[in-house]
């Protein structure tokens, strides 16, 4: 197949995703695009669609497990989509804007929920797609509108309705989120935001391996009273290693890269954990981490 010239540039630009994922594993995509505008994204989506090339969306790479070796198709990275505009009642942010920076600004801007999300790395597009959050706040607390492109490259704008966002789920599968709008609440003072941020940060630091290379929680918490981390810990799997991948000794739902882990090491550990937890507790653990084969 003869590919348009843009693909040659995108091929030359493609580097290893181990450099772009927080866990530090993953191979090289065949093509890498990094558009600087929604229009640029649109061209990439349409080009890939017309050429039959599968397209993956890369945000901050903080909840991703990418296979070793070459990744079939193209990757579109959102890191150049970084607009940030403040209005009286809302804040409009580009998908490539860093979520930790937004969380810090949310304290003074009175964005509900977000001050309770420190220690959650990634991009705004990624946290919208994942509906990221935790016990002290989540994206769903303040997200009012999302703009993006559907799989054919058509621009959409969606006002968030009750029920759109669930536990680590959103209606944006197969889409490219290009921007998001978060509401401001005049009743939320900076002091309130600061207090929530401090409380959430203390809890995160005490319970999760924030300094290690990981992809965040590997498994979703299953329905029922027990968290995935608790089930793994009770199966005596903390500290278990395969190659360079290890079940965190601090939080059993994190797998950390101790040095030279490969995606294969991480996958093997995931499958071992699933088998042990099934045998020990009769529970099927479902992946939270997103995977590119």
Ligand X SMILES: Cc1cc2nc3c(=O)[nH]c(=O)nc-3n(C[C@H](O)[C@H](O)[C@H](O)COP(=O)(O)OP(=O)(O)OC[C@H]3O[C@@H](n4cnc5c(N)ncnc54)[C@H](O)[C@@H]3O)c2cc1C
* Residues contributing to the site for ligand X (CB under 6 A): 22, 56-64, 78, 95, 119-123, 125-127, 129-130, 132-134, 172, 175-177, 208, 210, 214-216, 290
b/e map 246-280, b = 16+ CB within 10 Å = bbbeebbbbbbbeeebbbebbbebbeebbebbeee
Q: Round to whole Å and give the CA distance between 250 and 208.
A: 6
Q: Report the nearest approach of ligand X to the CB of residue 204 (Å).
A: 7
Number of Cβ within a 10 Å radius of residue 234: 14
Residue 91: both structure tokens together = 């804040």
3-class SS of residue 73: strand
Nearer to ligand X, 45 or 62 (CB): 62
Q: Report the nearest approach of ligand X to the CB of residue 186 (Å).
A: 27
**Residue in the shown chain whose Cβ atom is closest to ligand X:** 126
Q: Report the nearest approach of ligand X to the CB of residue 63 (Å).
A: 3
Nearer to ligand X, 249 or 278 (CB): 249
Residue 63: both structure tokens together = 């909840």
Is 128 within 8 Å of 146 (Cβ atoms)? yes
Q: Report the nearest approach of ligand X to the CB of residue 14 (Å).
A: 16
Q: Report the nearest approach of ligand X to the CB of residue 280 (Å).
A: 25
Residue 55: both structure tokens together = 């397209």
Nearer to ligand X, 35 or 110 (CB): 35
Nearer to ligand X, 78 or 188 (CB): 78
Nearer to ligand X, 120 or 273 (CB): 120
């Amino acid at each position: 197949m003869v590919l348009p010239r843009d693909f040659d540039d995108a091929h030359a630009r493609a580097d290893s995703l181990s450099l772009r994922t927080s866990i530090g594993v993953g191979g090289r995509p065949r093509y890498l695009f990094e558009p600087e505008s929604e229009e640029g994204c649109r061209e990439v989506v349409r080009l890939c669609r017309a050429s039959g090339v599968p397209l993956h969306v890369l945000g901050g790479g903080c909840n991703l497990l990418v296979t070793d070796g070459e990744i079939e198709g193209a990757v579109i990275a959102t890191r150049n989509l970084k607009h940030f505009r403040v209005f009286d009642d809302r804040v409009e942010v580009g998908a490539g804007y860093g979520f930790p920076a937004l969380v810090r600004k949310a304290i003074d801007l009175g964005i509900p929920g977000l001050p309770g999300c420190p220690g959650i790395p990634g991009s705004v597009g990624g946290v919208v797609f994942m509906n990221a959050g935790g016990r002290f706040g989540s994206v769903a607390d303040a997200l009012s509108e999302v703009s993006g492109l559907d799989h054919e490259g058509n621009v959409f704008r969606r006002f968030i309705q009750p029920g759109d966002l669930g536990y680590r789920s959103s209606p944006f599968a197969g889409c490219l989120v290009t921007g998001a709008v978060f509401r401001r609440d005049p009743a939320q003072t900076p002091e309130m935001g600061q207090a929530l941020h401090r409380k959430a940060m203390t809890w995160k630091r005490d319970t999760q391996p924030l300094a290690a290379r990981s992809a965040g929680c590997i498994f979703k918490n299953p329905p029922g009273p027990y968290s995935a981390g608790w089930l793994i810990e009770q199966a005596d799997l903390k500290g278990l290693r395969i190659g360079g991948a290890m079940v965190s000794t601090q939080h059993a739902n994190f797998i950390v890269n101790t040095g030279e882990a490969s995606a294969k090491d991480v996958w093997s550990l995931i499958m071992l954990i699933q088998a042990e937890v099934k045998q020990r507790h009769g529970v099927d653990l479902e992946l939270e981490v997103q995977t590119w084969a």
